[in-house]
Amino acid sequence: MKKIINQPKAFVDEVMEGILFAYGDRLRFLNGDKRIVLSNEETSAGKVGLVTAGGSGHLPLFLGYVGQGMLDGCTVGNVFASPSAQKMANMICACDKGNGVLCLLGNYGGDRMNFEMACETAELEGVPTRMVIARDDVASSPKSLAERRRGVAGMIYAFKIAGAAADQMMSLDEVAEIAQKALDNTRSMGVALSPCIVPEAGVPSFQIKEDEIEIGMGIHGEPGIEVRKMLTADEIAYTILNKILEDMPVSIGDEVSVMVNGLGSTPLEELILVYRRLYMILESKGISIYMPHIGEFATSMEMAGLSVSVIKLDAQLKKLLRAPANTPFYTSVNK
């Protein structure tokens, strides 16, 4: 293992300290708990709270989206491990402004189970809750079993759109409905070129040959659809987009937002090359792109590879996507 870290067991807490040292004017820990980050942004009384949680190792997911126009709170566990239900419950209660809290999460067993228990605890404390689960990864299950799909980078669109809806003082049910609508219209798929190493494990999460690429691999190293010989940027773009559009048909005149997300070790130039071909393919189909997102939004430590997410927009989703947002790791200004 060759990493710029100190002690593996201290990795997550030291990262959390570093985030607070850098952005302490905008973020804070809940009662000194280094695993629970809350926004310092001023919000209106009665605004629906918006929270998420998950394992560390995916920065800027999940922590990076706490701030103005997006999440009110986030709690994380160890690398690729869910935080506890009690920490989730503490976060939910802290983010209630009087009209309840929406919990947005990826479709992973530990996260679901702990959020369900946390919501029960919060409800006993008088905090209404709703859960919306991201299932955007088309490679993880066929369309007939879409309820089993993993939640990956596409959930960031839900953070953004639901955050804007909450800022407009919509009700808890309305914010949950809009978050679900965003996710219902979002599909993602990724490819991996190399594994990552969890600091406390000290060994690669999987093996792949130097001249190979794995199609559809998950952000924790979950197996993909197939392993192929290395593809060009254009071939990667075509392969991913073809799979997404088979699952989410779009028509001439439709408008989408596209996210090309680096998994941790992929140069921005390479992401731009993939976006170039995605743009050309969609343009040839009469589909326009609004607010492209290109960069690192949901990583997997130092894994090399990328994912593509596509959200089909209507007037409502487009307006909410465009609404102001500003967190330490995200701004809608340059999107």
DSSP string, 43-82: --TTPPEEEEEEEESSTTTTGGGBSBTSBSEEEEEEET-P
Cβ 112 vs Cβ 133: under 8 Å:
yes
Buried b (16+ CB within 10 A) or exposed e, 255-288: bbbbbbbbbbbbeeebbebbbebbbebbeeeebe
Cα distance between residue 278 and residue 35, in whole Å: 37
Distance CA 189, CA 305 (A): 11
How big is the chain, counted in residues?
335
Q: How far is CA 173 from CA 17, 128, 154, 180, in A?
A: 35, 10, 21, 10
User: CB of 295 within 8 A of CB of 172?
Assistant: no
What does the DSSP assignment read for 256-285? Answer: EEEEEEE-BS--HHHHHHHHHHHHHHHHHT
Catalytic residue among 35, 48, 57, 58: 58
Residue 62: cis peptide before it, omega within 30 degrees of 0: yes
Place of tokens 């993602």: 188
What backbone torsions phi and psi does residue 56 show, to the nearest 5 degrees?
-75, 175
Verify cis geometry, omega within 30 degrees of 0, for the bond prior to 60: yes
Alpha-carbon dihedral 297, 300, 302, 305, rounded to 10 degrees: -70
Q: If you compute the radius of gyration of the chain from its CA atoms, what whole number of angstroms results?
A: 19
- Choose, from 220, 277, 293, 312, the residue flagged as catalytic: 220
Give catalytic status of residue 220 as yes or no.
Answer: yes
Show which residues are catalytic: 58, 220
